[in-house]
Structure 1
Amino acid sequence: MQAKTAVVVGAQWGDEGKGKIVDVLSENFSVVARYAGGHNAGHTVIIGGQKFILQLIPCGILRPDCQAVIGNGIVLDPIAFLREVGKLRDLGVNVDKQVFVSNRAQVILPYHRMIELAAESAPGRQKIGTTSRGIGPAYEDKMARNGLRVVDMLNSNLLKTHIQNACHEKNAIAHALFGTEPLNPAQIYEEYVKAAEQLAPFVTDTAYLLNQAIRDGKSVMFEGAQGTMLDIDHGTYPFVTSSSATAGGAITGTGVGPTAIGTVIGVTKAYVTRVGEGPFPTELHGPEGEDLRARGHEFGAVTGRPRRCGWLDLPLLRYSNMVNGTEWLVVTKMDVLDSLAEIPVCVGYEIDGKRVDTMPADVRGLESIKPILTTLKGWQEPTEQIREYDKLPKAAQEYLRFLEKESGARIGMVSTGPDRDQTMALPDFAQALKSLEA
């Protein structure tokens, strides 16, 4: 880790426990910057038994001396942001001194939610399994160069004109395609001009802030949302999110240069989960999947949706490590496997009778995969109270060594429970983190 910076990414389809890991790691960083997604991404952090659910604000906010930055790659729902700010204030968090919002971030408005909800529910449309929070349509407007940025929202005349023009267009489209009732632009303006006043104190040029922090020798962590396999370019398209969830998104989503990134840390569960539609080669159906879901409490932090569950997929992890340039892996939820006598792991794919070692690009190829499984010995001992790697059961250590050998990245940290202190860093990783401290 030469530069005092690190990108933390989800190595699977999201929900890997990045929130907890970013919170644990933030002890070593002066700034945590979120670079992609919107309030469809939920991070649950448990500190001393107290639960914090964050949607937009980076997990570094829970460290009193850490700055929390919302980068330009985010799509910001101002109402959701202010609601989250209010909840954190009520919990005694000093959001007013710690949170910074990019003036270049795109704004989600009510018509984005209207369009997404109508499209996802329309007969004959391919269902992606979105959260219907307006994320996709906001990114569509951004790419069509028709979006509203935070800096524009602070100009009341511009905000009013934009809402009037956009509602005229979106109401007509939604009514023609989906029969949706029109939104009232005057009502939207009244709500959002008030929101803009409350948002204004948080707004700054975060690209300048982050680059200055790096120049000053401060340590900066870049936090992704969702996971690699939901990335708009590299994921299981079209069942993906609308932004760059991979490590590359940290560059475009914050305004720092690629040479400023010191290392990439991937977060993977000891098994795999997925929310929503789309291919999932190692998915378990029936009692095994239900058992894994129950033991892992696999329900969305924001939506409450049950997650699909399956065994660890090593070809997927190799692919993820490749496109992210992952140096270190953090393995979460080891404790969920504690009771198993045997643990199947996917080591390769079979498509149309042929062995395939790489991730196919097309959905048909993904859906026709037969996973090639090997079985590792389970440890059948509780790991929740263990805080040192050397004290893990021998079979658990062998499971981790196998994962490391097959995935191409070094294991730096292991999590055996949801609380902040249920985490252990391996010596080399702990030493690398030490070098980041200002």
Structure 2
Amino acid sequence: MSESGSQEPRGAANGNGPAARAPIPPVGNKVTVVLGAQWGDEGKGKVVDLLAQDADMVCRCQGGNNAGHTVVVDSVEYDFHLLPSGIINPNVTAFIGNGVVIHLPGLFEEAEKNERKGKGLIEWEKRLVISDRAHIVFDFHQAVDGVQEQQRQEQAGKNLGTTKKGIGPVYSAKAARSGLRICDLLADFTQFSERSVYKSLAQQYKAMYPTLEIDTEGELDRLKDYGQRIKPMVKDGVHFMHEALHGPPKKILVEGANAALLDIDFGTYPFVTSSNCTVGGVCTGLGMPPQNVGNVYGVVKAYTTRVGIGAFPSEQSNEVGELLQTRGKEVGVTTGRKRRCGWLDLVLLKYAHMINGFTALALTKLDILDVLPEIKVGTSYKVDGKTIPHFPANQEVLQHVEVQYETLPGWKSDTSAARSFEELPENARNYVRYIEEQVGVPVKWIGVGKSRESIIQMF
């Protein structure tokens, strides 16, 4: 206290006033996020490939090899499931974050398959970084996935339509705190194997599913080899991401797997995936703060598709759906299953925007609609004759909503050669503008074909 009884300002030095506060650290680099806005298969790989040509780093934040991205380069089609599809750019560092679940044999099979297709994956092992906190998908997780699907079919008469890649079981193990991570595999393999950490987990599943066959020793031998192969790629993911965000300026791209309506919290539960594939999953799956999220681009097909079972209000189980399936070559990259097809659903798209806050949209496969004389768009849902203001959470309600459609004129001409918005037919331009006005989000890209060149950039 001073003689007058007043207290000196904290941090004052030699009577020169309060000491300067520590400088507030800069936000750092912003990441660009690409997310699916429907039930997946919207063409995210193509948008990521476009943006990755100018990126320094491309990240996967969630999911496993149950998702599939297709990229076409020089007429060669590359399929990605675990690897970030942006890795096809030889100048990109690819990062698999802690939110991803990794089946190591699947990772190497995928890389080697794409390597054989040409010069697409140049020195990929030197450019891939894997978070040490990512959980491991074991072969028995995949076997359990199949058994669970069979049990659902036998007990309830229907299953969830999973890819049987073990994604649900490994995320369940993660939530139950019985999972094993990349850091466990690399820290002490003796403890991992001989002291029964892995074997204990395998026995838990064996006890739950007595018919399950598990080759414990065989998988351990393979895991030891894979562990040695990935060791140079593994880093502390949080530190790695922090350095990327706060180091020299970088263009960082995040590619989401699956899509908004497959999100474990916000999707059409229970017919969903087991991870958060909306924008919140970017932060938790990479270990980065929300302030570093920049543009969030939603990828939406010019119509709607869905693989597997579950409610699909705008589905067309008729000649329209068949035409969309045939023209769009709507077959799942991972499963090979035909996709169900229907009209564009704006209720669904607005709901996805509420959750993700899209800054712009990429509208893909516009050319598939070229032959239609008229095009319908779902604009609202009715339940018991009353329009509802929201997207229903309950599947029974969603199964029985009455979709209200707006009918727009088609353009009946080929759009595949268009490379500017002005080159599109007037009714095609009107279709794009209608979507923008209804959703309240600008369309930044329009896809009119499979190749890199078949895309129109609006701004």
TM-score, structure 1 as length reference: 0.94
Task: Report the Cα offset of residue 409 of structure 1.
Answer: 1.2
Q: Say which is worse superposed, 367-376 or 158-167, in terms of deviation.
A: 158-167
1:30-429 → structure 2 map (5 Å cutoff): 30-90=56-116, 91-92=118-119, 93=121, 94-122=123-151, 123-125=154-156, 126-154=158-186, 155-160=188-193, 161-175=196-210, 180-215=211-246, 216-427=248-459
Contact 1:163 1:188 in 2 (8 A): no
Amino acid at match of 1:422: S
Q: Deviations over 1:20-45 (max 9, x none)?
A: 11001112321110101000111111
Amino acid at match of 2:159: K
Equivalent-residue separation in structure 1 for 2:65 and 2:87 (angstroms): 16
Aligned to 1:435: none
Q: Deviations over 1:149-188 (max 9, x none)?
A: 011112312321222111211112111xxxx243132222
SS of 1:159's partner is helix
Contact 2:129 2:235 in 1 (8 A): yes
Equivalent-residue separation in structure 2 for 1:95 and 1:87 (angstroms): 12
Answer yes or no: is 1:6 the counterpart of 2:35: no
Q: Deviations over 1:380-427 (max 9, x none)?
A: 111111111121111111000000111121111111011111111112
Q: 1:3 to 1:322 in 2, by over 3 A?
A: farther
SS of 1:241's partner is coil
Equivalent-residue separation in structure 2 for 1:204 and 1:137 (angstroms): 25
Equivalent-residue separation in structure 1 for 2:29 and 2:443 (angstroms): 20
SS of 1:28's partner is coil
Q: Say which is worse superposed, 211-220 or 70-79, in terms of deviation.
A: 211-220
Equivalent-residue separation in structure 2 for 1:379 and 1:109 (angstroms): 50
Contact 1:43 1:55 in 2 (8 A): yes
Equivalent-residue separation in structure 2 for 1:336 and 1:357 (angstroms): 30
Q: 1:370 to 1:165 in 2, by over 3 A?
A: same
Equivalent-residue separation in structure 2 for 1:136 and 1:222 (angstroms): 23
Q: Deviations over 1:248-277 (max 9, x none)?
A: 100000011000011110000000000111
Contact 2:29 2:250 in 1 (8 A): no
Equivalent-residue separation in structure 2 for 1:28 and 1:390 (angstroms): 26
Task: Report the Cα offset of residue 64 of structure 1.
Answer: 1.3
Equivalent-residue separation in structure 1 for 2:86 and 2:239 (angstroms): 19
Equivalent-residue separation in structure 2 for 1:410 and 1:308 (angstroms): 27
Q: Say which is worse superposed, 81-90 or 332-341, in terms of deviation.
A: 81-90
Task: Report the Cα offset of residue 109 of structure 1.
Answer: 0.4
Q: Say which is worse superposed, 146-155 or 235-244, in terms of deviation.
A: 146-155
Amino acid at match of 1:156: F
Aligned to 1:23: 49
Task: Report the Cα offset of residue 208 of structure 1.
Answer: 2.1
Q: Deviations over 1:130-166 (max 9, x none)?
A: 0011000000000111101011112312321222111
Equivalent-residue separation in structure 2 for 1:4 and 1:185 (angstroms): 44
Identical-residue share of aligned pairs (%): 39
Q: Deviations over 1:295-343 (max 9, x none)?
A: 0000011211100000000010000011001110000000000011100
Contact 1:315 1:357 in 2 (8 A): no
SS of 2:209's partner is helix
Task: Report the Cα offset of residue 3 of structure 1.
Answer: 5.2
Task: Report the Cα offset of residue 287 of structure 1.
Answer: 1.9
Q: Say which is worse superposed, 121-130 or 74-83, in terms of deviation.
A: 121-130
SS of 1:301's partner is coil
Contact 2:79 2:114 in 1 (8 A): no
Gaps of 5+ in 2: 1-27
Task: Report the Cα offset of residue 367 of structure 1.
Answer: 0.6
Which has the larger Rg? 2
Aligned to 1:436: none
Q: 1:373 to 1:54 in 2, by over 3 A?
A: same
Contact 2:163 2:334 in 1 (8 A): no
SS of 1:190's partner is helix
Task: Report the Cα offset of residue 199 of structure 1.
Answer: 1.8
Query: Could you list the runs of 4 or more consecutive aligned residues of structure 1 that deviate by over 4 angstroms after TM superposition?
Result: none
Q: Deviations over 1:74-113 (max 9, x none)?
A: 0000000111222344333220221111111000001111
Amino acid at match of 1:26: A
